[in-house]
Amino acid sequence: MADGFGGIWEVGRYVDFCTILSLTHLLAGLVFTKEVEREWLDRRFGMLEDILRDSWVYQKMKQEGLLEGREEALQEALQGDRLVLLEIVQARFPALESQVRKKADATNDLATLRHLIVQVSLAQTEESAKQVLLIKKARKRIYHHNNHHFDFFCRGAMLVI
């Protein structure tokens, strides 16, 4: 294995070396499953860690992992906020639970869901809570010169900016 890598390195094909090394490490991780083997593999490739991190394979795997992690975090946050909204409605306006459950399950935007939580929490009566759920919210984001932004939620089609 070292002779093959050495030959590639001598030819000066650094990118190919990194790619093959990354793939080899990945595949070796599938083969070496015992603790002692994994320790040996970690020591061997630990010496080449900087080279591996620069490879396109490693960068691609890292990017995919980050994207998956972000999506999982978003889904967890949405699910948590859906539960919060339902708990508020169950405690304050139990007759609206089925309607709120449908609305919450159909909402995939975290800001919209959190806005619903606040508005339902502030509703004084069941009727006003029902109105919050029926009114479609329009959202407009305004950017200022210093890159800070503000969100405005407006009722119906009329936006006040």
Q: DSSP readout, 38-67?
A: HHHHHHHHHTTHHHHHHSHHHHHHHHHHHH
pLDDT of residue 18: 65
Confidence of residue 48 (pLDDT cuts 50, 70, 90): confident
Q: Are 140 and 159 in contact (CB under 8 A)?
A: yes
- Within-domain flag for 67: no
Q: Is residue 114 part of a domain?
A: yes
Residues 85 and 41 in one domain: no
Residue 32 lies in a domain: yes
Nearest to 79 by CA among 52, 46, 104, 44: 104
Q: Report the pLDDT value the prediction gives residue 160, as an integer from 0 to 100.
A: 32
- The answer, yes or no, to whether residue 141 has pLDDT greater than 60, is no
Average of per-residue pLDDT across 113-134: 92
Considering the domain architecture, whether residues 123 and 81 belong to the same structural domain is answered as: yes
Q: Which residues, at least 6 apart from 40, have a Cβ–Cβ distance to it below 8 Å?
A: 32
Domain span at residue 92? 74-142+149-155
Residue 68 in any domain: the answer is no
Query: Is 98 in the same domain as 129?
Result: yes
What pLDDT score does 132 carry? 86
Residue 7 lies in a domain: yes
Asked if pLDDT for residue 61 goes beyond 50, the answer is: yes
Distance CA 97, CA 86 (A): 7
Q: Please state the domain count of the chain.
A: 2
- The verdict on residue 65 lying in a domain is no
| Token pair for 115 | 């806005």
Residue 112 has pLDDT above 70, yes or no: yes
Residue 66 falls inside a structural domain: no
Q: Which of 50-54, 71-75, 104-108 has the lowest mean pLDDT?
A: 50-54
C-alpha to C-alpha distance for 14 and 150, rounded to whole angstroms = 48
Clarify whether residues 85 and 134 are in a common domain: yes
In a domain, 20, yes or no: yes
Write out pLDDT tens, residues 79-107. Answer: 999 999 999 999 999 999 999 999 999 99
Looking at the chain, the whole-number percentage of residues with pLDDT higher than 70 is 71
Query: pTM for this one?
Result: 0.55
Asked if pLDDT for residue 9 goes beyond 70, the answer is: no
